[in-house]
Chain A
Amino acid sequence: MTEGTDPAALPDEFAGPDGHTLALEMMRRMLRVRLFEEATIALFHAGELPAMVHLSIGQEAAVVGACVATTTADYMTGNHRSHGHPIAKGAGLGALMAELLGKATGVCGGKGGSMHLADFSVGSLGESGIVGSAIPVATGAGLAAQVRGSDQVALCFFGDGAANEGVLHESMNIAAIWKLPVIYFCENNGYAVSVRASESISVPDIATRAAGYSMPGVVVDGQDVLDVYRATRDAVARARAGDGPSLVEAKTYRFHEHAYGLVVPQPYRDQATVDSWFDTVDPITLFHHRLLGWGAAGEDELRALRDAVQSEVDAAVEFARESPLPPPEAAYTDLYAPSEVTA
């Protein structure tokens, strides 16, 4: 567990009613991510998913801790592990689930699918199936905020594998020289598909690379939603104050296979250890016990919260199932914005 966090004591900033609400909101959003993805597992086994999904199960504290430090006016981009980010950013579940089923009511009208969810209404400028590819997009959103003189920030999610893509370095450098309000947020789950981060990254902590771009780089316990939230909140404050970008690295775990249902022929991690994670490092279970321990919430309240989220997810699945498929002609729309300049 993280230094400086006494698990026995409710941290000051979560003591008052606002803090209490915020803590429960973090729990609610982690549950939204978890239960949404468990629903996708069920859809996968029922043969209803037209493609594979990359799950954030195990990584909810990293995703949610970062997103709650921003508002829906702030921008966010993500990657192929794609559901958690827009959900945590506040997107409605129905249109996201419909997108996974390729339905007309999907958030992208059925043209994006699992790896390319976007909900511009909550600042989610899109996930990316090309690893690392959306990193400069978040950087550009930060540029726009700066030029327009708004106080928005851009939150940029990427994995440890993406940390080796050149555009991360180009983007961090651009953000640093221009002092752009960007938070580079690495979900380091230890693997890029099968390749260990320790074997593909030249430093123990990706966060140390921040020094090369004269920005703060911090490592946080990615299973501790409060720790993640605090570090991201500081980075957001710095960005809003005009002091430029930061790099936050959350050490986290991927509980399921790289893509759900993917069979990797050669074992690259120990299954018994992976199985034990549900008992030892599940961010939702950990936070659940901490909320109880602090007396910040009772079992009944947490059960009611879970039930409410489950109902929301069930409704999303039903909405998605009942939604129509897009008509064939939809394949030919949205290519170009209507924009005619006549002489």
Chain B
Amino acid sequence: MTATTTRAKQLGFLQAINRAQTEEMTRDERVVLMGQDLRANVFGAAAGALETFGPSRVRDLPLAEAGSIGVAAGAAMAGLRPVVDLTVASFVFGAMDQFVSQLAKARYMFGGQATLPVVVRAALYYHGGTAGHHADRPYPMFMNVPGLKIILPSTAPDLLGLLKSAIRDDNPVLCFEDANLWGRKGRGPLPEAGDHLVPLGSAAVRQTGTDVTVIGIGLGCYLAVEAARALAGEGISVEVIDPRTLVPMDWPTILESVSRTGRCVVVDPANRTCSAASEIAARVAEDCFTDLRGPVVRVTTDDVHVPFSPALEKQIYPTQDKVIAAVRRALAG
């Protein structure tokens, strides 16, 4: 890297969230923030919100996850645009009925009468000894529920742009943030002041290549880029795609790339069975069958709960080595 790029201003994940929320709250007074420990900014993304927007629009929620999601749904039906910080993604389970029965279904079941502009943010805290109750990556479960949109950015500028689009969207949008990217890994060039928008449903091609398409989700995208760099040394040309949005998925970009390279690897930190990778692999197999020159290979987390001991935990997730092995398998086919 050159001296100029290292010195260029960078945006981090928490700053991205804060900037997106602040800009959208300033733009639209119907946007309200709700979350546990929000006013004290315990999770670091709500700095200044209480001072700027006041206690009516910035609310600390009690520990009531189901109630909170349902309250957001009702508030949206009655004219607000709530952004709910659910903190840890594993806490979605306590609110599952409200996500599914209310947030996802109300518009459809009521024949289009309800509009639910709700954003729910939740961070994926795996990889850090948080063990079974805090380290889940539950986004594929929600991909199975029509009526929700799902974003899962892998860079801070994308998070900024997608979160702003999500807040403006008239639909419920779940924003899953891969906490492994909160540090240096997820930082990206600071967008200029003013509207930095990334539309939902648009993938990013992180790197172009000709031999194999690697689709990476969240941290998986970072691993894919690193693996691609290593493989470049062997003369293997890897195209890396970051879907950024899981629902709606940018199928044209993915399918076009796989049709061109004839090989596909999907890297997804979710548990293997019915993962986002499973859906991508199935769709690629259906739509690119005649172009494929090898098996579609998934790199996912093994189907176990997350164990506590570092000696046990590290082995279950996708790694750069597993991505490299998967690419070799795809190429060998």
Interface residues of A (CB under 8 A from B): 75, 77, 106-112, 116, 118-120, 125-126, 128, 130, 133-148, 152, 154, 166-167, 170-171, 173-174, 177-178, 333-343
What are the 6 A-B residue pairs with the smallest beta carbon separation, nearest first?
A140-B74, A136-B70, A170-B67, A109-B111, A144-B78, A170-B64
Q: Interface with A: B164-172, B251-259, B264-272, B293-301, which one?
A: B164-172
Contact B77 A141 (CB under 8 A): yes
Q: Given A135-B70, A173-B62, A336-B171 in contact, is the A109-B112 Cβ separation under 8 Å?
A: yes
Contact A166 B66 (CB under 8 A): yes
Contact A116 B109 (CB under 8 A): yes
Contact B199 A341 (CB under 8 A): yes
Does B328 sit within 8 A of A, measured CB to CB? no
- Residues in chain A near residue B69, CB distance under 8 A: 136
Q: Which of B65-90 contact A (CB under 8 A)?
A: 66-80, 82
Q: Interface with A: B9-17, B94-102, B131-139, which one?
A: B94-102
- In the bound assembly, the distance between CA atoms of A135 and B69 in angstroms comes to 11
Contact A334 B107 (CB under 8 A): yes
Contact A341 B110 (CB under 8 A): no
- In the bound assembly, the distance between CA atoms of A68 and B62 in angstroms comes to 33
Q: Which of A166, A170, A174 neighbours the largest number of chain B CB atoms within 10 Å of its CB?
A: A170
Closest CB-CB distance, B68 to chain A, in whole Å? 8
- In the bound assembly, the distance between CA atoms of A99 and B114 in angstroms comes to 16
Q: Given A133-B102, A173-B62 in contact, is the A140-B71 Cβ separation under 8 Å?
A: yes
- Residues in chain B near residue A173, CB distance under 8 A: 62, 64, 67
Write 18 A-B pairs (CB below 8 A) sorted by A numbering.
A77-B74, A108-B113, A112-B110, A118-B113, A125-B114, A136-B66, A137-B73, A138-B74, A154-B74, A167-B70, A170-B68, A171-B64, A171-B67, A177-B62, A334-B112, A337-B115, A341-B197, A343-B199
Nearest B residue to A178, CB-CB: B59
Nearest A residue to B82, CB-CB: A140
Does B61 sit within 8 A of A, measured CB to CB? yes
- Residues in chain B near residue A147, CB distance under 8 A: 32, 56-57, 75, 80
Does B221 sit within 8 A of A, measured CB to CB? no
Contact A141 B74 (CB under 8 A): yes
- Residues in chain B near residue A140, CB distance under 8 A: 70-78, 82
- In the bound assembly, the distance between CA atoms of A110 and B108 in angstroms comes to 10
